[in-house]
């Protein structure tokens, strides 16, 4: 009798683990592929933004235009808390959140089926990154995360229910250096720069350290007005978040929405 109970408990645990692992394509329960045990580890290093893309957790590399589906180490898991998706390591510690700039060891491998511990869904696409040593989010996953060095192009701005697009033949850019804590870019006519810090969970706090400074050229009334509105909004930045490969900065009652450059 005791042996029968033990077998039943073991089967129940296996079924529960399978239900956690095989949850592909659901935005609320993203697919989380995990490696088999006892595999040799690759030693390359990749850095990028952890994003949720059509129900799959991927890293958008800062070194290329590639977006990699991560095959996580055995023992890792994911947890959803409200709108946040957390990555949990084998010790039960939170090491990253969707939207973080992360670094992962490991390497790219075409023979993914040799590494993964479950069947990949039919709609999943590569390339794949076999995670070896998970380094974690910037600042060593202490709760303070940086954007790394990323460049963006403004898509729209203004009040969320009344967004404006840019004037024809104008471009506004933003480069954030999370290592140095600097921001630079073109406001459509003049170049600008400033200093900032970003920390906390998603959406993350965004604090300017002093005023934004810019050159003082004029490019015509309409472009000057657009530039003034953009810089005025950026000067009141409060928080930011990543969503569908976009950067959204909240500035009081306004938002700045950027596409990756």
What pLDDT digit, counting tens, does each position of 142-194 carry?
A: 334 445 567 899 999 999 999 999 999 999 999 988 767 899 999 999 999 99
Fold of the domain spanning 149-260: Lipocalin (2.40.128)
pLDDT tens figures, 62-93: 777 788 999 888 888 999 888 788 888 887 88
Question: Tokens 């800062």 map to which residue?
Answer: 62
Residues 204 and 218: their CA atoms lie apart, in Å, by 34
SS3 category, 251: strand
Q: Which residue did the predictor score with more confidence, 76 or 118?
A: 76
Residues 186 and 192: their CA atoms lie apart, in Å, by 6
Task: Tell me what the pLDDT averaged over the chain comes to.
Answer: 79
Q: Would the pLDDT of 26 be above 70? A: no
pLDDT tens figures, 189-211: 999 999 988 765 445 678 888 89
Q: Which residue did the predictor score with more confidence, 246 or 5?
A: 246
Query: What does the DSSP 8-state code read for residue 31?
Result: B
Residues 197 and 219: their CA atoms lie apart, in Å, by 31
Q: Would the pLDDT of 252 be above 60? A: yes
**3-state percent helix, strand, coil for the chain, nearest multiple of 5:** 15, 45, 40
Q: Would the pLDDT of 60 be above 90? A: no
Rg (CA), the chain: 22
Strand partners for 217: none
Q: In what order do the strands lie in the sheet with 94-97?
A: 77-81, 84-88, 94-97
SS3 category, 231: helix
Residues 242 and 185: their CA atoms lie apart, in Å, by 19
**Tokens encoding 116:** 């993964």
pLDDT for res 3: 52
When mean pLDDT is compared across 26-30, 136-140, 164-168, 206-210, the lowest value belongs to 136-140
**Tokens encoding 210:** 């002093």
Q: Using 50, 70 and 90 to split pLDDT, how confident is the model at 260? A: confident
Residues 223 and 229: their CA atoms lie apart, in Å, by 10
pLDDT for res 39: 64
pLDDT for res 258: 94
For the chain, which residues make up each domain, given as ranges? Answer: 19-141, 149-260
Strand partners for 243: 246
pLDDT for res 10: 53
The DSSP H or E segment spanning 44 is strand 44-53
Residues 257 and 32: their CA atoms lie apart, in Å, by 29
Pairing relation of β-strands 67-71 and 128-137?
parallel
Residues 31 and 71: their CA atoms lie apart, in Å, by 10
Taking the alpha carbons of 252, 253, 259, 261 in that order, is the dihedral positive or negative? Answer: negative
pLDDT for res 235: 94
Phi, psi of 44 (to 5 degrees): -75, 170
């Amino acid at each position: 009798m005791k042996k029968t109970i033990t077998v039943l408990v073991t089967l129940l645990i296996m079924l529960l683990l399978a239900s956690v692992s095989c949850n592909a394509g659901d935005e609320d329960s993203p697919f989380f592929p995990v490696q088999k045990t006892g595999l040799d580890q690759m030693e390359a290093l990749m850095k990028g933004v952890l994003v949720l893309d059509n129900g799959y957790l991927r890293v958008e590399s800062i070194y290329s235009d590639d977006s990699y589906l991560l095959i996580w180490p055995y023992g890792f898991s994911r947890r959803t808390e409200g709108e946040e998706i957390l990555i949990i390591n084998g010790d039960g510690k939170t090491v990253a959140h969707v939207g973080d700039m992360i670094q992962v060891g490991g390497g790219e491998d075409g023979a993914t089926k040799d590494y993964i511990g479950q069947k990949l869904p039919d709609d999943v696409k590569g390339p794949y990154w076999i995670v070896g040593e998970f380094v974690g989010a910037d600042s060593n996953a202490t709760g303070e995360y940086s954007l790394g060095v990323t460049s963006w192009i403004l898509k729209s701005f203004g009040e969320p229910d009344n967004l404006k697009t840019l004037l024809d033949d104008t471009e506004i850019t933003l480069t954030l250096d999370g290592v140095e804590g600097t921001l630079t870019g073109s406001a459509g006519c003049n170049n600008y720069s400033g200093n900032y810090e970003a920390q906390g969970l998603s959406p993350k706090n965004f604090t300017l350290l002093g005023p934004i400074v810019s050159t003082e050229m004029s490019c015509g009334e309409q472009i000057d007005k657009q530039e003034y509105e953009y810089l005025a909004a950026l000067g009141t930045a409060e928080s930011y978040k990543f969503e569908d490969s976009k950067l959204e900065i909240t500035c009081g009652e306004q938002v700045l929405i950027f596409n990756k450059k």
